[in-house]
Amino acid sequence: MLFPTITFATFFMVVFLANWFLMPYPKRWRWFMLAASYFFYGFWNWRFVGLLVVSSLANQFFAVQLERAKAESSRKGLITAAVAVNLGLLGYFKYYGFFVDSVNSTLDSLGMSGSLPLIQITLPVGISFFTFQALSYVIDIYRRKLAVAPPLDFAVYLAFFPQLVAGPIVRGTELLPQFQGRRDPRRIDASRAFYLIAIGLAKKVVIADFLASNLVDGVFASPGQYGSLEILVAVYAYSVQIYADFSAYSDIAIGIALLLGFRFPDNFNAPYTAVSIQDFWRRWHMTLSRWLRDYLYIPLGGSRGAGLLTQRNLMLTMLLGGLWHGAAWRFVIWGGLHGLWLVWERYREQRRTEPLVITPGVQLRRRLVTFHLVSFAWIFFRASSMSTAWEIIRRLFTEWGGGVDAITVPILLAVAVGIGAQYVTRPAVDRVLAGFSRLAPAAQGGVLAVSLFVIDALANEGVAAFIYFQF
């Protein structure tokens, strides 16, 4: 079920009314929200609702056992088993085909006979997201940062529909306590919620889908038909597309949760204004960045060891972060490139003997370099195969005599707006929201109606699935 559709609008209207009607009845509210979330997930493929149920039961079992266990050896064994079960489910559905293809290719290259059987497995939408949420829950209980939640609360937390299939990755410490308090509909930040939903819709259907259908999809499907300048603009366009698409889902999810009385952590903070790769990862998919930091990078040793150990930890974190995004070597290369650049930045910082003076010129240069490094890595992320990625890179540098017919003014405008909008300051947005909140309800409704009309008029026909559904 896609957010920018009449089907979802109808679904959410029912959920919104029932959410507030059932608020005085906590147990009924939990059962209703669980059923609504399962319906939302099952609308895509009802058979995988069982996977959510299994994940909920298994992780709640491990959580209870972790809380009961006294001996540290028993607790370590339980958390190891919990991590293994979660990663086992994720590995089977997401990485089985990748593993078999890699092994068979290696055997063929060595001239060895025999091959592993390849079974076609449908990837459950959002499995990476709810698996990471489940892992954060049991790990936080193991670390004694979180108490075991009632089974029904945990089931609702894991399946809660706004962020279920594409984030943000909301931790138990962030959402579970909100189930306990009584929410007041008069205290909802409706102005911010409607702003986020409207901005998310505009990003998705006006910018992301437009760039995809009018340039990006064609170039990445048949790069041999395009010249260097067209490919360069397509790479820029994909950088904007994936930001607009993914941040749109996060914006809408956060806005919907606000209307239901819940607060999610922010997931994006103007990533293309970053002045370094490290800064980029503080701004891009921030809930994943923090998850990788707290549950992978720091347990590996973080930056506590010698320089080489820290660089190893950075590389391993980014390589595994790349693999989390998809079961293909191109995602590993994408993560590896970011890891290499993070290692290089840390090496330069350690070698610097004097503080870096950040003048406007230096800041501009650093932003341009960072944006181009990120955009270059996106080539591997978007390409359907390694051969396509290398063909795009080759033609990017060798076909400057080619045409420019694919580059149009609306495409350039969409790219410029997608990047330029990130330079709008937070205080400016807050002033707009404050002004909107002071309007009478009828005036607010009029502003929203006009906004939705303009978005619909500018939108492409139909709505494509969000990019991160595949992860």
Q: How many CA atoms lie within 13 A of 159 on its CB side?
A: 30
φ, ψ for residue 227, nearest 5 deg = -85, 175
CA distance linking residue 22 with residue 169, whole number of Å: 26
Residue that the structure tokens 């891009």 belong to: 284
DSSP string, 74-92: HHHHHHHHHHHHHHHHHII
- CA-to-CA dists, residue 137 to 37, 130, 143, 162, 213, angstroms: 19, 11, 10, 18, 39
Cα 208–Cα 209–Cα 211 angle in degrees, nearest 5: 70
Active site residue 372: no
CB 104 within 8 A of CB 164: no
CA distance linking residue 217 with residue 438, whole number of Å: 43
Which position among 285, 325, 338, 372 bears the catalytic label? Answer: 325
With residues binned 3-state (H G I as helix, E B as strand, rest as coil), the percentages for the chain, rounded to 5, are: 75, 0, 25
CA distance linking residue 9 with residue 270, whole number of Å: 28
Q: Which helix (H) or strand (E) holds 387?
A: helix 386-398
| b (16+ CB within 10 A) / e for 343-353 | bebbeeeeeee
* One-letter amino acid of 279: D
Where helices occur in 148-227 by DSSP H, the ranges are 151-159, 172-180, 190-201, 209-211, 217-221
Query: What would the two tokens of residue 213 be?
Result: 């259908």
Known catalytic residues?
A: 325
